[in-house]
Amino acid sequence: MQELRKFVAPEFVFGCGSLNLAGRYAINFGAEKVLIVTDPGVIAAGWCGKVKDVLDAAGIASVVFSAVSPNPRAEEVMAGAEFYRSHGCDVIVAVGGGSAIDCAKGIGIVSMNRKHILQFEGIDNVNVPGPPLICIPTTAGSSADVSQFAIITNLEERVKIAIISKTVVPDVALIDPATTLTMDPYLTACTGIDAMVHAIEAYVSSTHSSLLDMHALEAIRLIRANLLNTIANPTDLELRSRIMQASLEAGLAFSNASLGAVHAMAHSLGGFLDCPHGECNAILLDHVISFNYASSEERYLKVGEALGIDMRGMAAKNKRTAILQEIAELKLASGIDKTLRERGIHISDIPELADKALRDPCLVTNPRRFNKRDIEVIYAEAL
């Protein structure tokens, strides 16, 4: 018998031109004044302006909050919530990557619950849903537009916190692959590998289910088959669409199955260094798989098959090596070749990083139990 499983997801529209539905959905939510949450890069790329034009055409007033860092900070969320209140907004539209969307989620949480954003860390700590939230992702990887996660940086503690609650799931995601045409090659690589990690960790999660497995495996297949070609041919909209679909499918999987040690360790690392989340995941991925492998061997073999590895006739130990090698080669071919040492981490930093990773809720669903020493060893291997 199947165990009880709940599947949470927003309404979403996938395909080129879906961005143009922002006005219609805002009207459906009874919007009188929309807060657009974005960042300077998305404004420069022109996507914020396009959304504002769509809202204007629908007769809906809007204001823009763009003081959002690549890793959104608690202070930015609090400033955004005050901006939302002072301008009399009633609906939020997030336009951007995971940073803008997570900041928008945080603004909604604070606006309705009237507490500091850091007080919501953990699982199911958001009692009141935020105002209607429409997400328009402009990167293919974070899946923040369909997930029940919001990741916010605590600058004082130099760590990223995870807020996980079904009340955080956006109301609508307008997933328009055309918005990813302005991504540079390294951002394409980092976000693509981020989606790969989402899919792999969801598939081996202790709360995996058949409802989610099909999404996770399809995401892995799509990324392996199309990411390198997308990096090499950045204006190919068909390739961009396939990677955007992979991000969506990975998001549906991990939002419901949760994640694992890669993300727990990456949140600690990203908060410490303030570096790209996808890059942190990529650096750690094969090291964590190596540690986890024996605890979920059959599932990792399915991951290997989704990666396109022909393992027929291979000895068991060679299959493990082939999977790790395939992932390492994909990272390198994508242009993600840094080590933790090259990113500025020293051996003396590892105990602090491990302490913070050990407290991350993503570790709860990792297929193998971790202690602090285990985490320290993996960080050391990634140096």
CA distance 78 to 363: 27
Q: What is the pLDDT of residue 159?
A: 87
Strand partners, 64: 36
As given in the structure block, the two tokens for residue 256 are 């419901």
> Residue for token digits 């969506």?
248
As given in the structure block, the two tokens for residue 248 are 């969506």
Helix (H, G, I), strand (E, B) or coil at 125: coil
CA distance 164 to 140: 21
Strand partners, 62: 34
Answer yes or no: are the C-beta atoms of 135 and 108 closer than 8 Å.
Answer: no
pTM recorded for the entire structure:
0.95
Q: What is the pLDDT of residue 1?
A: 52
Domains of the chain: 11-180 (3.40.50.1970), 183-381 (1.20.1090.10)
Residues 139-184: tens digit of each pLDDT: 999 999 999 999 999 998 988 999 999 999 999 999 999 999 999 9
Radius of gyration of the chain from Cα atoms?
20
Q: What is the pLDDT of residue 4?
A: 66
Handedness of CA 103, 124, 25, 246 (dihedral sign): positive
Residue count of the chain:
383
Mean pLDDT, the chain, integer: 95
- Cα 1 to the chain's mean position, in Å? 32
Residues 13-60: tens digit of each pLDDT: 999 999 999 999 999 999 999 999 999 999 999 999 999 999 999 999
Residues 300-319: tens digit of each pLDDT: 999 999 999 999 999 999 99
Say what percent of the chain tops pLDDT 90: 91
| Three-state SS letters, 144-197 | CCCCCEEEEEECCCCEEEEEECHHHCCCEEEECHHHHHHCCHHHHHHHHHHHHH
